[in-house]
Amino acid sequence: MWGCLVALVGLFFLVRWYRERQVVSQLQDKYVFITGCDSGFGNLLARQLDMRGLRVLAACLTEKGAEELRRQTSDRVETVILDVTQTESITAAAQWVKEHVGDRGLWGLMNNAGVALPSAPNEWLTKQGFVNMLNVNLLGMIEVTLSLLPLVRKARGRVVNVSSFLGRLSPFGGGYCISKYGVEAFSDSLRRELSPFGVKVAMIEPGYFQTNIVDKKKFRQSVEAIWNQANPEVKKVYGQEFLEAYIKLSHLLKPPFGQDLHMVTDCMEHALTASHPRTRYSAGWDAKFFYIPLSYMPTCLVDAMICWLSPKPAQVL
């Protein structure tokens, strides 16, 4: 009995390995549109796909980012300025993409643009802080997707959205986790709706990676700015020691080892080029072996663990 079970498990992984090695044909004729290419994952993916021979349409927030990317890539990479929070900018970029892809349609849409700040305990924030985060990470992604779906459907292509392990687990407040939960929900519904058209939808769920979106200095400055503008009563309840402990704790969430950005962009590349892409990609050792498994544990245990690790407000000590 055990021998049959082991054989079945082995056969499953063998078939899975074989299927995932199959690559779509004529990659050199396919167009991929990537948002957030100024730096980080988007910038690296644009260069990576360029080396694979794909035609990359890279959206950058700034002209400086676009110029630097063009210097690092071949003439297969073309850039456009895009602010995903502005409808006019999205409309113009969608028209630009349509003019480039023509009758071929858009093979791949890689929704990568995102921000990580502001992040702080919910009670410290205002509604606008949540709105600013959702406008980029969720609503902007949705509007870009809706604008380009006809072109993706025409090519029977792919939509790949960057979520996070924080789309499954919310260890801290602010709009980031909320936005990533929204990305997960939107991607799930989109995958089922587009399946009859032959369009595949995948999600990338990275763990902690050091990028230009946020670093220790930026995080401290952001949290301190939020704290300084917080209601005096809130500041009294939490206390200065909580502020310092909260800032320090955020740096302990990252894994004790380096994680190469290629761990994420390799997942993105596979989702865009494999004949049988996965629905979800867990990128990073911390996501694979800690955060995502943690999200499947009973809520009471997860709550107890996070509360035990979290700093305590002054008035509950």
* Separation between Cα atoms, residue 301 and residue 38, nearest integer Å: 40
* Separation between Cα atoms, residue 134 and residue 141, nearest integer Å: 9
* Separation between Cα atoms, residue 43 and residue 66, nearest integer Å: 9
- CA-based nearest residue to 267, from 51, 115, 110: 110
Find residue 204's DSSP bridge partners.
162, 281
Number of other CB atoms surrounding residue 79 within 10 Å = 22
Told to judge if 176 belongs to the known catalytic residues of this protein, a careful annotator would answer yes
* Separation between Cα atoms, residue 279 and residue 64, nearest integer Å: 34
C-alpha radius of gyration, the chain, whole number: 21
- CA-based nearest residue to 104, from 28, 187, 196: 28
**Sheet with 108-111, side-by-side order of all strands:** 77-81, 55-60, 31-34, 108-111, 158-162, 200-206, 280-283
Instruction: Give the active site residue among 176, 181, 238, 246.
Output: 176
Q: What are the residue numbers of the active site? A: 176
